[in-house]
């Protein structure tokens, strides 16, 4: 039973595709912004290609990121972080 490679038959490598989709999903960037960022790194790609990559690979990346973020937030609660909501001050009470 072999797994199909979802990046097969794509002109660009898996690293380039994942980087572009991650940038688009993670930051408030337009497709043209992602194209400009890739061009700065020497990769020439059209914004319609970025659109197709986001449509194809975006849901899977979002699903995996959500699972990771949910686990990280639960780890923080279990370790006791984020539960301290008291206000600490540097003065000591004085009696009159």
Q: Where are the domains of the chain?
A: 14-76
pLDDT value of position 82: 53
pLDDT value of position 4: 81
| Distance from C-alpha of 50 to C-alpha of 68, rounded to nearest angstrom | 24
pLDDT value of position 83: 53
pLDDT at 2 over 50: no
Which pLDDT band holds residue 41 (cuts at 50, 70, 90)?
very high
Q: Mean pLDDT highest for which of 12-16, 30-34, 60-64? A: 30-34
Q: Is 23 exposed, middle or buried (0-12, 13-18, 19+ CB in 10 A)?
A: middle
Which pLDDT band holds residue 5 (cuts at 50, 70, 90)?
confident
Backbone angles phi, psi at 42, to 5 degrees: 85, 15
Global pTM value: 0.65
Q: At what angle do helices 47-78 and 14-26 cross, to 10 degrees?
A: 70
In the chain, what percentage of residues exceed pLDDT 90?
46
Under a CB-based contact definition with an 8 Å cutoff, are residues 19 and 42 in contact? no
Annotate 42-64 with three-state secondary structure. CCCCCHHHHHHHHHHHHHHHHHH
Looking at residue 85, the DSSP 8-state letter turns out to be: -
| Distance from C-alpha of 79 to C-alpha of 27, rounded to nearest angstrom | 29
For the ranges 18-27, 66-75, 86-95, the lowest mean pLDDT is seen at 86-95
């Amino acid at each position: 039973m072999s797994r199909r490679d979802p990046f097969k038959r794509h002109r660009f490598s898996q690293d380039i595709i994942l980087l572009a989709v991650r940038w688009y999903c993670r930051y408030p960037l337009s497709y043209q912004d992602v194209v400009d960022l890739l061009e700065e790194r020497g990769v020439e790609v059209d914004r319609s290609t970025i659109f197709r990559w986001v449509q194809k690979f975006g849901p899977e990346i979002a699903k995996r990121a959500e699972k990771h973020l949910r686990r990280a937030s639960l780890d923080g609660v279990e370790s006791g972080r984020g539960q301290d909501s008291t206000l600490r001050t540097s003065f000591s009470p004085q009696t009159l």
